[in-house]
Structure 1
Amino acid sequence: MDTGLHPGVHDSARRLGKGADNPVGRRPLSNRAIVLWAAGVCSLVLSTLAGVATAVPRKGSPYQKLALLTRVMSYVEQSYVEDVDSDELIYGAVKGLVETLDPHSAFLRPEQYREMKNDTAGQFSGIGIEVDVRDGMLTVLSVMDGTPAARAGVVAGDQIVRIDDQPTRGMTDYVARMRGKRGSAVQLLLQRRGQRDSRLLVIQRDLIKVRSVESFLLEASYGVIKVKQFTETVDRDVEAAIAALEKESGGKLLGLVLDLRNNPGGLLDQAVRIADMFIDSGLIVRTEGRNGRILDEERAHHRGTRDDISIICLVNGGSASAAEIVAGALQDHGRALVMGTQTFGKGSVQTIIELEDGSALKLTIARYFTPSGRSIQEKGISPDVVVEQVKLSELKPQNSEEPVQKERDLHGHLKNKQRDQIARRPSGPPVGYAVIAQHSTGGEDYQLRTAYDYLKAWSILSARLLPRRSTPTPAHVAGGGPATSPTGTEESVGRKSSSRELLEQRPADAAAAAAVRGSVGAPIGLSPQAVTGTGSAPTRGLASGLSGLIDEGR
């Protein structure tokens, strides 16, 4: 995608990497210094073989192998059939070294590092479109308002046939090709559905600000905030989105869907700030380095907490890293009902170490743990309510057992005399369904509709059944009780009251809660069990928080 975001750089992460790996603040060796040092090692080894008594690296030292590297480089430079670039050889060697560690550690060339910094800063130089390959063709998914692409007339659905005379079929670097220096031009050959002739556009690149947060109101008092990635300004963007939704709702927001689906992660400090908005106290996340050493803990603060809004957090298999930190914290504190499908399962933290030639080392330095002590690595976050994404247009209502005729169809039936005296409740689907269709690919989003249904049902049930002095969120009903510390004692994880306390106060409310879990959200004619299931994630020992850089998980 032209807005394709990548893991970014965070100042605290940079300091963390320097402090942990280079506590005295020495500058890292340059590539040339490494080669010269390796050559020195090689000469020492050769001298020893010749019988000269001199110092060599201790037996078994990994640096002895650098002699092998210099010998291979020497053979390549002297005997390879074509001229070679020594810098490229060094970059390739370092890249291969780092890739032996884990999928998220990486060596970034200078141009890759610059691109990553632009992404996490929330801006880049490009034309302002989101693209993906659909049916084998590079297709425009959306066009950002006020961008060069919008001014040139590009619309969603356009197929990009060529970029600067290069065919896009099979192309993998289309994002890099559409980006470039501000003021430079890129040529796009577009094919629009329903039109026979293609169009050639010459678009001048400009500075594009990435929209990491989108929001819209479903109906009065119920809104959606979608966080696409945790960039540098996400916390301010989410606060602004909440304020805008409240203003549009007349000052009150009862329910919020926090949509973290397909969010690949981003900056850790931003994930912590988002969780802190809705959690009033307790641990948010903890990071542990090598041998279980605690590197950092992040805790919630009471000031500014929005604990008056019921929240459903939507996740799926594309929710990774920083998105899993937010979902895990909200779930462990009972602050939100987590809905959707199992998340990606990236539970590691990366830091960025900037090198003197403009390149950088992205290195995995820690694992993170949720407030209850869970490691998400490999496992992911298990939603409280499992809701698969299905296409409603492919489903058929199963109402064959219902009578064809209703009372109003019977001959001579009694008339409802209140028809003109008492206003009836509006019939038909909730108004939010139409709004969801407008903001969804293909005009439907079953997971978001289900989240909306749950929020509405919870509002109705809490108003009718639950004590007015205690207004728990849906998560309190669906989630578990207090977390248990490693010593076996119960500890509060920031929740106002546990579901156990609530259900013991009023047995009738337990039945109402069960009704919420088991019957809300399925379309007409579908058994709720066929599409949704419940399964709360286990709460284990109470752990503590974290800090560093979270990169994209996919």
Structure 2
Amino acid sequence: MNNIKIILPLLIGSTLALGLFLGTSLSTDVSPFNKKETASTNAQKLNDILYILDKKYVDSIDKEDLFEEAISDMLHKLDPHSNYIAARDLARLNESIQGHFGGIGVRFSIIRDTLCITNVLPNSPSERAGVLSQDQIIKIDGEVISDSTINNEKVMKALKGLENTEVEITVLRDGFLKDITITRGSIPVNSVLASYMLTDKTGYIQLQSFSEKTTEEFYKAALQLKAEKMENLIVDLRFNGGGLMSAAINICDMFLDKGLPIVSTKGKSQPDYTEYAANPPVMGNIQLAILINSSSASASEIVAGAIQDNDRGTIIGRRSFGKGLVQQDMLLKDSSNLRLTVARYFTPTGRSIQRPYSEGFEEYMMDERDRYNNGELYHLDSTLMVDSLKYTTPGGKVVYGGGGIMPDIFVPLDTTGGSFYYTQLQYGGVFNAFAFDYVKNNKESLAKYTSIYSFRNDFKVTSSLLDDFKEYAQTYYNIKAYPNEFERSTVLIKREIKANIANQIWVDNAAQLMRADTDKEVQKALEFLEK
């Protein structure tokens, strides 16, 4: 089975793993280790060991990698979120925090060993240079890129670069090759992934990270929805691994009355400090629901905790990740970075929602497995509601600390319609590839859909289209549709075909709107807000 490697490298930012790696940070300092000091006895011992390993070990080793792994392992003995970031990795991680990077401004997918442009960002360097959606990139700076050696890392390294530098691409368009020179520019890494009106009264904002640009992005999206007569808002923090604490505080400030507490921090070397809402809330009259799951972490939990503890909105979904540690960045003299836990944060009622980590780093990171095995993803786990961890909000609601934010309304993980066949389609990238080819071959018939709303209401995945999809999956990816499995997963398959086609047409994430009707958490939020 061929694999489609899908990536949105010039638009999309962090996922959970990246969010946890970035942490919830207070600030960036220059490490005191930048000062010239005599190496300690222990540091010299480590150097001696590495020297001996390099000279005497049975196999060749990479001393630099081994040294950096040793530092990471040492930090993880302290807690799971203290970390060492090598200089070569720091720039990439900072892109998600800064909210931009140098690039050309496209979304792309690697389909059958070919680099395919799915979207060209408005006002981007690529649009100005004449790049079009559905172009296939054959060469980058003269090097053939469409072959079996192509991968995401190779493409990103070739297309990204300093602003105002040039990159030349050769594209295949309508059977002809065309050379295009693009001057790289500043490309946004959007933290607001989607923003729509789901109904006449209820808006929806999907927030995928907390960066330096998040406050501005969220503010604009919320004001636009308010201008469209929004009365209720669903903020989707599922799979949001966090980022900057300051961005989380600013989001809370839009909803909480001035003077209400948002978050407190306490640490041995940090003064106790509480952040309060500083301004009259611009969204003060909007009913609010927040969606969370086990991949909502860090800054996401600050928002959910502040809203819940101040009785400002309703938390819906499943227990969040449980990261209540605050990291501070310290730049080392070789441009690498020490990300050290310096404080714990607490919700307005005084809850610490940090999960225990005494069993070690590896066990800590396997929490999702444990939740699946003990059934917590399907049933509310009452064993987590311990009296010693019970807190009461000003409105009299009981909330619990000790390991993540517990939702006010629990929604079990939805596995309806799942099958091995559907899993093969998802992990094989078949939906994305089929959508790319469908849009490429049906531009005229799709032109009548002038907005994501008209597409949602009027586009139908017909039986004929389903048959074409089944044949496509078997022909190009050797995935055979067994009748029982196909029938069991038909609703999900139709949804994903429609969602992926929508995503090929519109630059913003139209896919989530297409999934809303079958999204159990979204539907529960709508039911609650519009009752």
Per the normalisation by structure 1, the TM-score is: 0.56
Specify the alignment match of 2:132 in structure 1. Answer: 153
AA at the equivalent of 2:33: P
Q: Distance in 1 between matches of 2:72 and 2:528?
A: 53
Q: Closer, same or farther in 2 for the Cα pair 1:76/1:165, shift >3 Å?
A: farther
Give 1 or 2 for the bigger CA radius of gyration: 1
Q: Distance in 2 between matches of 1:152 and 1:64?
A: 58
Alignment of 1:249-288 (within 5 A): 249=229, 253-280=230-257, 281-288=259-266
Give the Å deviation of 1:154: 4.2
AA at the equivalent of 2:186: L
Structure 2: tracts of 5 or more residues without a match? 1-7, 356-402, 420-452, 459-494, 503-509
AA at the equivalent of 2:223: A
Q: Distance in 2 between matches of 1:100 and 1:136?
A: 42
Contact kept, 8 Å, 2:115 with 2:145, in 1: the verdict is no
Alignment of 1:55-94 (within 5 A): 63-75=40-52, 94=71
Give the Å deviation of 1:99: 4.8
Alignment of 1:420-435 (within 5 A): 434=457
AA at the equivalent of 1:4: G
Q: Closer, same or farther in 2 for the Cα pair 1:276/1:163, shift >3 Å?
A: farther
Alignment of 1:104-503 (within 5 A): 104-129=81-106, 144-147=121-124, 151-154=130-133, 164=145, 167=148, 175-176=156-157, 178-182=159-163, 183-185=165-167, 204=182, 205-213=184-192, 214-249=194-229, 253-280=230-257, 281-290=259-268, 295-301=272-278, 303-378=280-355, 379-388=403-412, 390=414, 434=457, 439-440=510-511, 443-446=514-517, 451=522, 454-455=525-526, 458-459=529-530, 461=531
RMSD, aligned CA? 4.7
Contact kept, 8 Å, 1:286 with 1:294, in 2: the verdict is no
Contact kept, 8 Å, 2:210 with 2:248, in 1: the verdict is yes
AA at the equivalent of 2:303: V
Give the Å deviation of 1:185: 3.0
AA at the equivalent of 1:14: T
AA at the equivalent of 1:272: I
Give CA-to-partner distance per residue, 1:494-541, whole Å, 9 cap, x none. Answer: xxxxxxxxxxxxxxxxxxxxxxxxxxxxxxxxxxxxxxxxxxxxxxxx
Contact kept, 8 Å, 2:191 with 2:211, in 1: the verdict is yes
Q: Closer, same or farther in 2 for the Cα pair 1:262/1:156, shift >3 Å?
A: farther
Contact kept, 8 Å, 2:108 with 2:118, in 1: the verdict is yes
Give CA-to-partner distance per residue, 1:196-218, whole Å, 9 cap, x none. Answer: x9999877443211222232222
- DSSP 3-state at the match of 2:254: helix
Specify the alignment match of 2:13 in structure 1. Answer: 4
Give the Å deviation of 1:381: 1.8
Q: Distance in 1 between matches of 2:42 and 2:322?
A: 35
Contact kept, 8 Å, 2:138 with 2:145, in 1: the verdict is no
Q: Distance in 2 between matches of 1:221 and 1:363?
A: 44
- Bigger share in helix: 2
Q: Distance in 2 between matches of 1:375 and 1:239?
A: 28
Q: Distance in 2 between matches of 1:305 and 1:176?
A: 41
Give the Å deviation of 1:312: 1.1
- DSSP 3-state at the match of 1:223: strand
- DSSP 3-state at the match of 1:311: strand
Contact kept, 8 Å, 1:285 with 1:298, in 2: the verdict is yes
Specify the alignment match of 1:542 in structure 2. Answer: none
AA at the equivalent of 1:241: A
Q: Distance in 1 between matches of 2:336 and 2:300?
A: 27
Q: Closer, same or farther in 2 for the Cα pair 1:243/1:357, shift >3 Å?
A: same
Give CA-to-partner distance per residue, 1:379-404, whole Å, 9 cap, x none. Answer: 32222222346478789xxxxxxxxx
Range moving further from structure 2, 316-325 or 300-309: 300-309
Q: Distance in 2 between matches of 1:108 and 1:198?
A: 44
Give CA-to-partner distance per residue, 1:411-436, whole Å, 9 cap, x none. Answer: xxxxxxxxxxxxxxxxxxx9997499
Q: Distance in 2 between matches of 1:157 and 1:297?
A: 52
- DSSP 3-state at the match of 2:27: helix
- DSSP 3-state at the match of 2:196: strand
Contact kept, 8 Å, 1:178 with 1:186, in 2: the verdict is no
Give CA-to-partner distance per residue, 1:87-109, whole Å, 9 cap, x none. Answer: 77765654554454444322223
Q: Closer, same or farther in 2 for the Cα pair 1:99/1:456, shift >3 Å?
A: closer
AA at the equivalent of 1:364: T
Contact kept, 8 Å, 1:278 with 1:306, in 2: the verdict is yes
Q: Closer, same or farther in 2 for the Cα pair 1:78/1:321, shift >3 Å?
A: same
Structure 1: tracts of 5 or more residues without a match? 39-62, 396-429, 462-554
Q: Distance in 1 between matches of 2:217 and 2:191?
A: 8
Give the Å deviation of 1:186: 7.4
Give the Å deviation of 1:172: 6.4
Specify the alignment match of 2:422 in structure 1. Answer: none
Q: Closer, same or farther in 2 for the Cα pair 1:86/1:385, shift >3 Å?
A: closer
- DSSP 3-state at the match of 1:72: helix
Q: Distance in 2 between matches of 1:152 and 1:443?
A: 27
AA at the equivalent of 1:28: F
Contact kept, 8 Å, 1:127 with 1:203, in 2: the verdict is no
Contact kept, 8 Å, 2:138 with 2:144, in 1: the verdict is no
- DSSP 3-state at the match of 1:306: coil
Q: Distance in 1 between matches of 2:178 and 2:47?
A: 50
Contact kept, 8 Å, 1:349 with 1:365, in 2: the verdict is yes
Give the Å deviation of 1:80: 7.9
Q: Distance in 2 between matches of 1:108 and 1:239?
A: 32
